[in-house]
């Protein structure tokens, strides 16, 4: 594999303690990604490679709770360009098409043409994953969409909140860089967004989610890049790619998800030729934090079919 591990330990030692961190040049960006599970050399060519795509303002850390409940599976989770440890893509817009190109190139670099690939996307990452399948239908064998964005954000009952959020991002971009970062990273705003998405009443889960968002939610390259990505996140849905999703697809929904309402996800799945919808009760838009074990169990059942 081109690139060098972002760790001083050997791969074997790193896998005993946790993931192997790597970096590759993808779409002109230094893309950082983490490999979990057994060494690729020890995995059967028929065993699937699971690639996960995080949502808006996320990093690979957010999907780790699901990965932890998939023992024995080879999983790769990148930080999307411009977020977390990954640099931006020079000369490219940080939108669905740009991120899909980066994920496709990463899968290719990991030998995705030689083994079955399962692509998972959460929230905005679900739109990116759907675009990958539509543009590279032979690259992905199975698709998993967690809290998929199935209904337009700028229409329907959430339109006022969506427009206010859009204004917030526009102001953050219009301000000088230091002030814009301060506004977009404001602790109260981050905690407010965290509470809006969270449904669990478990104090330990709530504390973990809030701490994770405070630590990682503001790790973006620039206000301008964040504005580009936010605009992309509210400009389309996975339903836009319904006609291209001919592969086996699993959608995992939160019953109380207000960002990706359940009725939209039911309609989306009903329009697919080979799809299953798993609904998790009393869960919002953070399935990967609130019920990672249940999500992983649904994924395992899907992969074993």
Dump the DSSP string for 234-281: TS--GGGGGGG--S-EEEEEETT-SSS-HHHHHHHHHTSSSEEEEEET
**Which portions of the chain are predicted below pLDDT 50?**
1-16
pLDDT of residue 161: 73
pLDDT of residue 41: 76
pLDDT of residue 6: 36
Task: Report the C-alpha gap between 232 and 254 in whole angstroms.
Answer: 22
Single residue among 175, 209, 228 that ends a domain in this structure: 228
Same domain? For 75 and 19 the reply is yes
Same domain? For 139 and 244 the reply is yes
pLDDT of residue 7: 33
Q: The domain containing residue 95 runs over which residues?
A: 4-153+236-304
Same domain? For 88 and 69 the reply is yes
Task: For 68-110, write each residue's pLDDT tens digit.
Answer: 999 999 999 999 999 999 999 999 999 999 999 999 999 999 9
Single residue among 195, 228, 261 that ends a domain in this structure: 228
Same domain? For 258 and 146 the reply is yes
pLDDT of residue 155: 61
Task: Report the C-alpha gap between 159 and 171 in whole angstroms.
Answer: 18
Same domain? For 134 and 202 the reply is no
Task: For 173-220, write each residue's pLDDT tens digit.
Answer: 999 999 999 999 999 999 998 998 999 999 999 999 999 999 999 999
Task: Report the C-alpha gap between 120 and 104 in whole angstroms.
Answer: 13
State the total domains in the chain: 2
Single residue among 228, 260, 281 that ends a domain in this structure: 228
Beta bridge partners of 83: 220
Q: Which of 147, 102, 103, 138 lies closest to 244, judged by CA?
A: 138
Task: Report the C-alpha gap between 268 and 299 in whole angstroms.
Answer: 19
First-to-last C-alpha distance (Å) of the chain? 31
Strand (E) positions, 79-227? Answer: 117-122, 142-146
């Amino acid at each position: 594999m081109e690139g060098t591990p972002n760790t001083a330990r050997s791969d074997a030692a790193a896998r005993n303690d946790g993931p192997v961190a790597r970096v590759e040049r993808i779409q002109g960006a230094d893309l950082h990604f983490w490999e979990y599970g057994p060494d690729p050399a020890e995995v059967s060519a028929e065993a699937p490679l699971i690639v996960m795509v995080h949502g808006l303002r996320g990093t690979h850390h957010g999907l780790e709770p699901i990965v932890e409940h998939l023992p024995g599976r080879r999983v790769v989770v990148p930080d999307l360009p411009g977020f977390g440890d990954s640099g931006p893509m020079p000369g490219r817009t940080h939108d669905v098409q740009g991120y899909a190109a980066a994920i496709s190139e990463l899968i290719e670099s990991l030998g995705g043409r030689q083994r079955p690939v399962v692509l998972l996307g959460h929230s905005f990452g679900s739109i990116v994953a759907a675009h990958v399948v539509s543009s590279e239908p032979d690259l992905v064998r199975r698709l998993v969409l967690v809290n998929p964005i199935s209904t337009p954000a700028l229409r329907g009952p959430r339109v006022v909140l969506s427009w206010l959020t859009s204004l917030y991002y526009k102001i953050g971009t219009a301000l000088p860089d230091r002030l814009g970062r301060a506004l977009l990273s404001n602790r109260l705003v981050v905690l407010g967004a965290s509470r809006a998405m969270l449904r669990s009443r478990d104090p330990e889960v709530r504390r973990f989610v809030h701490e994770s968002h405070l630590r990682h939610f503001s790790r973006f390259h620039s206000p301008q890049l964040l504005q580009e990505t936010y605009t992309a996140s509210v400009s389309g849905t996975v339903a836009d790619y319904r006609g291209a999703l001919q592969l086996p697809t699993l959608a995992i929904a939160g019953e109380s998800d207000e960002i990706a309402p359940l009725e939209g996800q039911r309609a989306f799945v009903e329009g697919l030729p080979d799809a299953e919808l798993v609904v998790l009760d009393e869960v919002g838009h953070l399935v990967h934090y609130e019920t990672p074990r249940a999500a992983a169990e649904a994924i395992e059942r899907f992969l074993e079919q």
